[in-house]
């Protein structure tokens, strides 16, 4: 006879990563009478942890281990964990690049984009660090993708491109970012132009235009980029010259009105 604890474990197993709310929801289908959250934790969750079936990740977040896994040898799914931390979120920046399969490197960080009111403390699970990135808009250009019986919310390719250029530290730095964006196929350049100019930030226009031109000469995914589109961005860069990287001197790129560090493009040739 299958016990209620075993039945709950079987219901949770396909989900792989579960919040305590997920457990309560599944438990309500198995336990005949309504029980408090405290009762469910003491009666079932605590028991499954002691049995090695649940592995605590952080408060109210758990990995469901298969019968063949041990807590020590549990394989971590970074994207799945990141999708369960907050209900209102999206995966962005380098984490989105990893989802799209174009990241040059796999980082030990996961970037979960949330509004300030949904902030959470960064935490580490095994070798991975989960970090919030504060944004004001968590709905525009967000796509929902099925992933291991859950739904991931990920920034669209166009929003990912812009945000990686805008906040480069969350994309792994310039070299990592450009190498990764080089493999980001399927972009709508018209949408990318619209989203960039919509922000009304000349410094962002310069950087996006410069990187697009750079990638047009480096990647088959960008070779069909229309020069007219680049010209439309260039028209919005009429103010005084700026540095691509703050404080890094170099020759002026007149089209984009940007000082490019001396060895910047030389380094890119080696990656």
Number of domains in the chain: 2
Q: Is residue 264, in this structure, part of any structural domain at all?
A: no
CA 111 – CA 134 distance, rounded (Å): 10
Say if residues 155 and 91 touch (Cβ distance below 8 Å).
yes
CA 177 – CA 170 distance, rounded (Å): 9
160 and 147 within one domain: yes
166 and 134 within one domain: yes
The confidence band for 270, taking pLDDT boundaries of 50, 70 and 90, is low
Domain span at residue 30 reads: 4-73
The tens digit of pLDDT for each residue in 135-178 reads 999 999 999 999 988 899 999 999 999 999 999 999 999 999 99
Q: Is residue 203, in this structure, part of any structural domain at all?
A: yes
Residue 64 maps to which CATH number? 1.10.10.10
The tens digit of pLDDT for each residue in 4-31 reads 999 999 999 999 999 999 999 998 888 8
pTM of the model as a whole: 0.92
49 and 173 within one domain: no
Helix (H) or strand (E) holding 98: helix 93-99
29 and 99 within one domain: no
């Amino acid at each position: 006879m299958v016990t209620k604890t075993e039945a709950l474990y079987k219901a949770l197993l396909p989900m792989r990563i579960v919040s305590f709310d997920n457990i309560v929801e599944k438990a309500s289908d198995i336990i005949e009478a309504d029980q408090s959250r405290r009762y469910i934790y003491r009666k079932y969750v605590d028991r499954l942890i002691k049995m090695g079936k649940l592995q605590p990740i952080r408060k109210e977040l758990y990995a469901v281990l298969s019968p063949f896994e041990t807590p020590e040898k549990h394989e971590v799914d970074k994207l799945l964990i990141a999708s369960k931390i907050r209900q209102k979120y999206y995966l962005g920046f380098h984490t989105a690049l990893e989802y799209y399969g174009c990241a040059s490197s796999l980082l030990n960080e996961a970037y979960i984009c949330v509004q300030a009111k949904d902030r959470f403390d960064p935490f580490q699970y095994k070798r991975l660090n989960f970090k919030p990135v504060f944004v004001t808009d968590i709905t525009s250009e967000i796509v929902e993708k099925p992933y291991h019986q859950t739904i991931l919310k990920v920034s669209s390719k166009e929003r990912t491109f812009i945000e990686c250029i805008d906040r480069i530290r969350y994309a792994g730095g310039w070299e990592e970012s450009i190498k990764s964006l080089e493999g980001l196929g399927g972009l709508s350049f018209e949408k990318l132009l619209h989203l960039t100019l919509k922000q009304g930030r000349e410094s962002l226009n310069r950087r996006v235009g410069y990187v697009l031109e750079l990638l047009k000469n480096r990647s088959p995914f960008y070779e069909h980029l229309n020069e007219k589109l680049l010209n439309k961005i260039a028209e919005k860069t009429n103010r005084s010259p700026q540095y691509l990287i703050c404080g890094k001197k170099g020759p002026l790129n007149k089209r984009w009105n940007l000082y490019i560090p001396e060895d910047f493009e030389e380094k890119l040739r080696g990656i």
